[in-house]
Amino acid sequence: MKKTALILSAALMFSGSLFAGENRTYEVTITNVTKGQIFTPVLAATHKSDIAFFEAGMPALPQLELLAEDGNIEPLSDLLLSVPELVQDTADTGPIMPGASVTFTISGSNQYNRLSFAAMMLPTNDSFVALNSVYLPRNERTETAIAYDAGTEYNDELCVSIPGPPGAFCEGANMPDDSGEGYVHVANGVHGIGDTIPMLHDWRSPVAKVTVRRIK
Burial of 206 (0-12, 13-18, 19+ CB in 10 A): middle
pTM of the model: 0.90
Neighbours of 181 (CB within 10 A): 15
Domains of the chain, each with CATH number or no CATH? 24-214 (2.60.40.2130)
Give the Cα separation of 126 and 124 in Å (integer).
6
In the three-class reduction of DSSP (H, G, I as helix; E, B as strand; rest coil), residue 199 is classed as helix
Neighbours of 144 (CB within 10 A): 13
Per-residue pLDDT of the chain (216 residues; tens, 9 = 90+): 445 444 544 443 443 444 456 899 999 999 999 999 999 999 999 999 999 999 999 999 999 999 999 999 999 999 999 999 999 999 999 999 999 999 999 999 999 999 999 999 999 999 999 999 999 999 999 999 999 999 999 999 999 999 988 788 998 877 666 778 999 999 999 999 999 999 999 998 999 999 999 999
Task: Identify the CA nearest to 143 among candidates 207, 54, 188, 53.
Answer: 207
Burial of 113 (0-12, 13-18, 19+ CB in 10 A): buried
pLDDT at 12: 37
Backbone phi, psi, residue 48, to 5°:
-80, 170
Amino acid sitting at position 79: L
